A = this chain, B = another copy of it.
Amino acid sequence: MSHKPEIISTETYETDAKWLRLQRIKYRDQEGKERFWEVANRSTRKGAVDSVHILALIKQEGERGVVLIEQYRPPVEATVVEFPAGLLDEGEDPATTALRELHEETGYQGDGVSVVSVSPVMVKDPGMTGANMHLVTVQIELPPDAPPPQPKLDDGEHIVKRTVPLKELNAVLKDYEKRGFAIDALVQSVATGLGLAE
């Protein structure tokens, strides 16, 4: 006999952490049995989804490239190769967040920059956290002689931007790994999908 699983209650462990909370979920499993599961969540979520990540595809002189950023991340004690990303503001739709964050982190905006698609809600590590996101694909059409734009970084934000030809993405990620960078799971998975198609 199989039931639809359901959450019975959620208890938050008391800490003085500000941005994250550790919780214990009591739920009923498929056999009707009560079980517990521990979960970490952001305390910053404003709506149903935490964040957007941006697959920014540059088209210039017939070549296709993808925009990556390098950013130091204390939780993994490493500089991580990621897609540009950001948290959704209250009531904001994912396409708007994506265009705002892309502008702030990389400088790209305006004519020739458009949202192509917004992914289904994606969960990042559903065995451990409730963290979720959309992957927003943005097309950037650049004239042949366009200079790279300047990002609008906040004080204390240290982000290095890089554009990589799509066909070199897997090789570039291997090189990053050799040089001690960590690779974000989204970036490596997109590269793996690209490689599968070859």
**Residues from chain B with Cβ under 8 Å of A19 in the complex:** 38
A184-B120 Cα distance, complex, nearest whole Å: 10
List B contacts of A127 (CB < 8 A): 73, 75
- The contact of A185 among B123, B156, B158, by CB within 8 Å, is B123
Give per-residue flags for A37-61: 1 if the beta carbon is below 8 A from chain B beta carbons, else 0.
Answer: 1111110000000000001010000
Q: Which residues of B contact A73 (CB under 8 A)?
A: 123, 126-127
A contacts with B: majority SS: mixed
- Type the 1/0 row for A97-121, where 1 means its CB is closer than 8 Å to any CB of B: 0000000000000000000000111
* Interface residue stretch chosen among A21-29, A88-96, A140-148: A21-29
Q: A168 to chain B: closest CB distance in Å?
A: 14
Q: Taking the complex as formed, is A163 at the interface, i.e. its CB lies under 8 A from any CB of chain B?
A: no
Structural contact, A22 and B29, CB atoms closer than 8 A: no
18 new A-B contacts at CB < 8 Å, known A33-B156, A39-B74, A73-B126? A5-B74, A7-B77, A20-B38, A27-B74, A29-B158, A30-B158, A41-B75, A75-B126, A76-B123, A123-B182, A124-B185, A125-B125, A126-B182, A128-B131, A133-B185, A193-B195, A193-B197, A197-B198
A-B contact pairs, 14 of them (CB 8 A): A2-B158, A17-B22, A21-B22, A22-B22, A40-B129, A75-B129, A119-B192, A120-B174, A120-B188, A122-B184, A123-B182, A125-B129, A186-B189, A193-B195
